[in-house]
Chains A and B, each alone.
Chain A
Amino acid sequence: MSATKALDAKAAISPAGSPQQSSPTLLQRLKKIFSAGPVMPGESYGAPGRGKSAAISLVTASALLLLWFVTTTAGWIDPMFLPSPVAVLARFWEVLTEGFANATLLEHTGWSMMRVFGAFALALVTAVPIGILMGVNRVARGLFDPIIEFYRPLPPLAYLPLVIIWLGIGEVSKVVLIYMSIFAPMALSARAGVRSVAIEQIHAAYSMGASRWQVIRHIILKSALPEILTGMRIGIGFGWTTLVAAEMVAAQAGLGFMVLNAAEFLVTDVVIMGIVVIGIIAYLFDMLMRYAERKLVPWKGK
C-alpha cells in the first residue's frame, strides 16, 4: 500500500509522468509477481511458488545462448576463453565421429555413465536398506550414524588419496569414490523418510492386527517412499559432481577425463562440450526421476 502511495507522489511531482499512469509501472508489475494473486480451481491461494515457470526458464536459457552467440561471434572474447557455440558444435561432431584423447564421445560417455550409474545402483541396494534400518532400529542407527555423519561433509577429493592407497588406481576405486558420495545423502533421506511417517497410521495398522513386519512393509516403507525418491535425485547429483574427481587418476576414458585432458591442452571447446554433455545427461535423468515421482508417489505433499 505505502509503496503505491510513494509512487503516486513521485508521478505527481514528475511533469512527464503521464505514461506511468496509463501502463502499470515496473514496481506495480513486480508487486503483482510477488503477490498471492487469484487462483484457479484445484490450486490454492497463497501456496508458495504457485503457477507455471517453464516459459520463463525457456526465455532465460535462450537469452543466455543468445548472449553467448553474440559476444563470441562479434569477436569480443578470445576463443581460448570462450569459443563460440558454432565451434563447440563443430567440435562435438568431430569428437563424436573421430574422438578425442583416444576415445570417441560415445566411449567417454559410456565409461562415465557406467561408473556413475554403477555406483548409483550399488548405493540404491545398500544405502536405502541401511537408511530404513537406521530409521526403525536404534542399534542400526547407533552403528551407522557416526560413520555417515563424519565422512558426509568431507569433500571426495580429501579422501580420494586414501581410496587410491587402499584400492589402487583401477576401476574399483573410481566407482567406490562415487559410491561413497552417493551413499550418505541416500541413506539419510531414507532414514528421514522413515521418521516422517504419521504415528496415527502406524497405530491404525496395529489396531487392525498388523504384525511389526507388516507395519514396516505396508506403512513405513510406503510413507518413506517420497523421501527415498528425493534421496535418489540428490544422490545422483552428488555422483556427477564426484565423477571428475574420480576420473582424475589414471583414467583412459570418461567425460571427466576428457574435460581434464582438454583443459591441460587448452582445448576450451572440448571442455565446454564435455560440461554440456554431462549437464544434459544429468538433467535427463532428473526428468526421469521426477516423472517416476509423479507416477509412484502422487500423494506427495498432499
Chain B
Amino acid sequence: MSRLQIHDVSVVYPGINGGEQVRALSDINFTIEPGEFVVALGASGCGKTTLLSLMAGFISPTEGYLTLGDSQIDGLPRVACGVDLADQIDGPGKERGVVFQKHALLPWLNVIENTEFGLKLQGVGKAERRQRAASFLKLVGLEDFHRHPVYQLSGGMQQRVGIARALTNDPKMLLLDEPLGALDALTREVLQELLLDVWKETQKMMFFITHSVEEALFMASRLIIMSPRPGRITHEFELDFNERFLECRDARKVKSMPEFIEMREQVLSIIHGDEAAGGLH
C-alpha cells in the first residue's frame, strides 16, 4: 500500500456572480501513511470537506498537487455546471472509497441494491455481491431492511447504508465525511468500534471528519485540527487511544482515562481559542 501526500495545496473557490473568492484551503502539506487513521476536526466551514474532496479526486487544487504512491491524482476538471462530464485523468477511483455527508444514496435502488452497487459496477456476480453486501448490512445493524426504499429510512439509517456501501466495496483508503453525525449515542459507539475493528483487521488508510472532540480522540492515530479563513491545519497530535481500546475492548474505560480527559481539555481549549480569535460570523 502506498502513502497519500498533499503538496503545498491551496483551494480557492471562485466567487459566485462576481462575489468574493473563498480561500477554502491554504498551503496544506500533509501525508497519510499506510495503515494510519487520520481524523480531522474543526469548526464548520474550515475546509474539511474540501480537503476530503481533493483526496477523493472530486476537485482539483488551485495550487499544488496530490499523489497516491507514485501516481498523481489530479481530480476531475472543475465542474462548474454540476455534470459537465469532460474528459478526466485519474480523478476518483475505487481504491479510495467515500462516505458522504449527505445526498449520495440512489433512491431508485433499495437498501441492499445500494450497498452492492459498487460490486455490481465491477461485474461481481449477483450471488457473491448479495452475500458480501448482506454481511456489511448486518454489521451496521440493518439486516432487517434489505428491501426498504432508502428514501424512507431515517437520516441515521441512511448514513449506515452509506458506510456499509463503502465497506462492501473494500477500498484501500476510506474517506469519511461526518459519517456518524446523525446517529444516536449508542449506535454511534457501536459504529465507532466497528470502524476501528475494520481498520485494525484490514489496515485501510482512514481519513475521518468529525465535529465531536471525544470521537476524534477515540478514533485517531493522528488528529489534525483545522481553522477557517483561510483553511489551515493548525495542530497535529499522535494518539493511541484507539490502540488502547482494541486491546482492552472497553470504550468507556478508555474515554475516562486521565490522559484522555486531559487531551480532551487541551483540544477543546484550542478550538475555543480559535473561535474567540477567528470570531464566529
Contact = CB atoms under 8 A, between A and B. Distances in A.
Contacts of A209: 93-94, 118, 121-122, 169
Nearest to A204: B104
B106 A215 contact: no
A216 interface: yes
B108 to A, nearest CB: 5
Contact of A299 (B56, B96, B107): B107
Question: Which of B100, B104, B149 is packed against the most chain A CB atoms within 10 Å?
Answer: B104
Nearest to B121: A210
A214 interface: yes
B92 interface: yes
Contacts of B94: 207-209
A204 B100 contact: yes
Contacts of A201: 103-106
Interface string A172-198: 000000000000000000000011011
A299 B149 contact: yes
Contacts of A220: 83
Nearest to A203: B58
Contacts of B97: 207-208
Contacts of A138: 84, 86
Interface in B72-116: 79, 81-86, 88, 91-94, 96-98, 100, 102-108
Contacts, number: 88
A135 B121 contact: no
Contacts of B106: 201, 218-219, 222
Contacts of B104: 198, 200-201, 203-204
B102 A200 contact: yes
Contact of A212 (B85, B122, B149, B171): B85
Contact of B79 (A199, A200, A298): A199
A302 interface: yes
B151 A195 contact: no
B136 interface: no
6 A-B pairs with least C-beta separation: A209-B94, A208-B118, A299-B107, A206-B92, A302-B151, A200-B104
29 contacts: A136-B83, A136-B85, A137-B85, A138-B84, A195-B81, A197-B82, A197-B83, A198-B103, A198-B104, A201-B103, A201-B106, A202-B83, A203-B98, A203-B104, A204-B100, A204-B165, A205-B121, A206-B91, A207-B96, A207-B171, A208-B94, A208-B117, A208-B122, A208-B169, A209-B118, A218-B117, A218-B121, A298-B149, A302-B151
Given A195-B82, A209-B121, A219-B106, 11 more contacts: A136-B83, A195-B83, A201-B106, A204-B104, A206-B91, A207-B94, A207-B97, A218-B106, A297-B108, A299-B107, A302-B107
